[in-house]
Structure formats: structure tokens, C-alpha cells
Amino acid sequence: MKILVAGGAGYIGSVCVEQLVERGHDVVVVDNLSRGHRQAVHPDAWLEIGDLSDVAFLQRVFSATKFDAVMHFCAASLVGESVSDPLPYYGNNLTNGFNLVRTMLDHGVKHFVFSSTAALFGEPRSVPIDESAIKDPTNPYGRTKLFFEGFLNDCDAAYGLKSICLRYFNAAGASEKFGEDHDPETHLIPIILQVAAGQREKVMIFGDDYATPDGTCVRDYIHVLDLAEAHILALDYLRGENISDQFNLGNGKGYSVLEVVAAVESVTDREILIQMAPRRRGDPAVLVAASEKAREILSWNPTRGSLKQIITSAWQWMDNHRAGYQG
């Protein structure tokens, strides 16, 4: 298939592109390289550098190739930042997403895989969280993703656009070649690994007074390669069934921030200095997925579920990329 991957130079996008290419698909990556990296694009994929705010650019890309499907990874995606600076979240996640979908529809492309998020649930009433749980985001990031899911439903009803929304819980880990390289880094696992590698003095623990067993936030960490496989399956499902749907993607097991610190200490055999800090605005206490629906309908079978395995892959990638993609 010919697939356009928007945001294919970013963390999760780059691993999905790798998996698509390995399965023989023709991939065109569209990325403005603001947070992504040229080196993160698989050499067998074609890279078009440009921004989704540039409709003329999008029209050119869609005119040059007749795509079978689009995968959309571009987003501003940091929970804390979305609270302090929501404007780019609405611009990137809504306006730019509209441009992409409108251009697809102009060119008759009707299959769309969307990177959605656990953040659209907000503080869950019960865990694990299944697809039907109440959606009440606690931050602008989650609100933009929830709104966009609604927009996709409307586009299905009106124009027959079929979409699969994949709601990631906490993506982590790396493939052999592609991993996480953000500047600045804000995610928990790479930050703790930077402490282990001596690149950072300590990790701040954002809140130890949550209603969780040890007072720190609980998250469901899912290996990026397992996420990438869900995208491939979503694409097959769209092509085969031509039905829109939404799926929660996680392992169904939560780890507190302090448990993640301990797991990194065990994997790296290094002591991690921690410091308690105030809560980060917008953080729900617990996010753990119920992913039975993806297992049943998509036949998704995540196989890299242990936290140790996830952290080990990220640690190996960091070891091979001491300065990230510049190294």
C-alpha cells in the first residue's frame, strides 16, 4: 500500500514507519522536523519536509501520489505544556489536523489512522479504562484529541471517511534503530535513564500525595513496537472491514513513578537520585488501559509487556545514541 505518515520523523511515527517499510509498504513521511529528526526516518521511506498548516504543500504531496491511507502522528503532546501554553495545542492538533483530513478528502483518500491518547479520559472513575469510559480530559492536550475524535466521527457520517483512533497509554522503549529523542525531554523513563547515564543529576517526582499506593502517579507503559503493530493491524482492519472505531492501547498494568525509578535502577544497576516536587498541572493520578477490545477486534497481541523489557530497550537505544540522533 501507499501510505502517507504525517509525523513519521517523531518518536512513535518513526517506529511505525520502520514497521510499515519492513512489511513492504511504500511510505511517504510528511514532517516539519520541529520535534522530529531526519535521521529518524527509515532510509526506504520518502521524506517531504513541510508543515500541515501549509495547505498548498499538502495539496502538492497528495497530487504527486495516490495514497491508500494516512497515518497521523503530528501533535503537540505534552500534558504539562498544554496547560501552560494551550495555543499551539489547538493550532497543531485541531487546525493542522483539519487541513490534513480536508486534503485527504479532496483527493478521495478515505482511510485514516489517528494517534489519540489516554489523556482524553481525564481522571478515570474506575480502572482499567475501557473505550466506553467517561471522557472528561484534565488538560488541553486531552481536550484537543477528544475534539478531533468527534470531528472524525462527523467526517465518517458526512463523507464516509473511515478512521481508527488509537488511544495510547504511555509509550516507551525503542526498536533497535529508532527511539526517543526529545529536546527538552519531559517523559519519565528517558529522564530517569538520563540520570542513570550521568547526563542529568536527578529526577524530580511530580507529586507524592496522590491517592495511589505510594502517593505517586500510576501509568500503563506500553512498548513502542507493540504500539506500531497495532497501527499495522488497524490499517488491515480499515482495508478489510471499512469500519471506523476506537481502541485503548496499553498493557493493563500500572506502575507508579517510584516503581519506574526502581525498575530503572535494577536494569541499569545504577542508583537514581530523586527529589520530591509539587504536582504537575493536568496530571491524572492513575491511567491504566483495558485493551481487550483491541485484542479481540484487531487481534492485537502485545508481546513486550514487562516494564523491564521496555526500559532495557530504551537503555540499549540510548547506549547506541549517546547524543540522540545527533550521536
Where do contacts with ligand UFG occur on this chain (CB under 6 A)?
77-79, 117-119, 169-170, 186-188, 191, 203-206, 217, 219, 257, 280, 283, 287
> 11, 89, 90, 141: which one is catalytic?
141
Least distance to ligand UFG, CB of residue 187, Å: 4
What is the 3 state secondary structure string of the chain?
A: CEEEEECCCCHHHHHHHHHHHHCCCEEEEEECCCCCCHHHCCCCCEEEECCCCCHHHHHHHHHHCCCCEEEECCCCCCHHHHHHCCHHHHHHHHHHHHHHHHHHHHCCCCEEEEEEEHHHCECCCCCCECCCCCCECCCHHHHHHHHHHHHHHHHHHHHCCEEEEEEECEEECCCCCCCCCCCCCCCHHHHHHHHHCCCCCCEEEECCCCCCCCCCCEECEEEHHHHHHHHHHHHHHHHHHCCCEEEEECCCCCEEHHHHHHHHHHHHCCCCCEEEECCCCCCCCEECECCHHHHHHCCCCCCCCCHHHHHHHHHHHHHHCEEEECC
Least distance to ligand UFG, CB of residue 110, Å: 27
Least distance to ligand UFG, CB of residue 135, Å: 13
Least distance to ligand UFG, CB of residue 169, Å: 5
Least distance to ligand UFG, CB of residue 190, Å: 8
Nearer to ligand UFG, 170 or 246 (CB): 170
Nearer to ligand UFG, 45 or 205 (CB): 205
Alpha-carbon gap, residue 118 to 122, rounded angstroms: 8
Nearer to ligand UFG, 165 or 257 (CB): 257
Nearer to ligand UFG, 169 or 247 (CB): 169
- Catalytic residue check, 141: yes
Instruction: Give me the helix-helix angle, 307-320 and 257-268, nearest 10°.
Output: 60
Nearer to ligand UFG, 40 or 205 (CB): 205
User: What residue is closest to ligand UFG based on CB?
Assistant: 217
**Burial label, 133 (beta-carbon count in 10 A; 0-12, 13-18, 19+):** middle
Least distance to ligand UFG, CB of residue 118, Å: 4
If one counts every other C-beta atom within 10 angstroms of the C-beta of residue 56, the result is 7
Nearer to ligand UFG, 187 or 293 (CB): 187
Give the catalytic positions in this structure.
Answer: 141
